Amino acid sequence: MMLLAAVTGYLIGSIPTAGFLGHLMGVDLRSDGSGNPGAKNALSTRGPTLAAIVLLVEAGKGFGAVWLGWALADDPGAIAAAIAAVAGNVYNVWYRFEGGKGLGISLGILVGVWPTVLPVMVAVIVTTVLIARSAGLAALATMAGFIICGFVWDAMDLPTGGVATGPGLIVLTTGMTAILIWKHWRDSPLNPAWRSGRRTPA
């Protein structure tokens, strides 16, 4: 059942909802703007309404994947489905294994799996953006903070408010970060290619 939970999570994560919503609003998020099918590109190409819709739908996919995984295989199934959903979003089979950056779906996953960590993540993002003026650096700092929180919550047995507990948090944080980190590194000032102008931040 764990395998079924993971496959279900991947398929949910790979549903090309951002592209579909963009087409409804007359924009191709795969070619317009940065070419990234996500809320940030939706904001830059069609404004806050489309961005909010894309973010909510992507978050809904993450939340749904978690709870279907949990229904199939309890807490381990929820974690397997969560990690697989991120993989489906970032390495999307319908987009030839290209896709979004996984932030919207990660929001929905955390609402279902570990909502008590969300204020910490928001604080890290806001603080890094204010200091570094870089969304790419903020994403990388948040991923580092995410892994640290996994160890802290596990060691101190802090409440998660969701279906993940204990060592499962370490599996969740390291698994999600391993999938997300390349795209965010690629479009951050820490990447020499990005600094030289050979990459366009998405």
* Among 101, 13, 14, 16, CA closest to 62: 13
Q: Residue 132 is encoded by which pair of tokens?
A: 């570094």
Helices (H) and strands (E) in the chain, counts: 9, 0
0.85 cut: is pTM over it? yes
Query: Please, are residues 76 and 119 in contact by the beta-carbon 8 Å criterion?
Result: no
Nearest to 88 by CA among 73, 71, 113, 108: 108
In tens digits, what is the pLDDT along the chain, a chain of 202 residues?
889 999 999 999 999 998 889 888 888 887 787 777 888 888 888 889 999 999 999 999 999 999 999 999 999 999 999 999 999 999 998 888 888 888 899 999 999 999 999 999 999 989 988 887 777 788 888 999 999 999 999 999 999 998 888 899 999 999 999 999 887 766 666 666 655 554 444 4
Per-domain residue ranges of the chain: 2-195
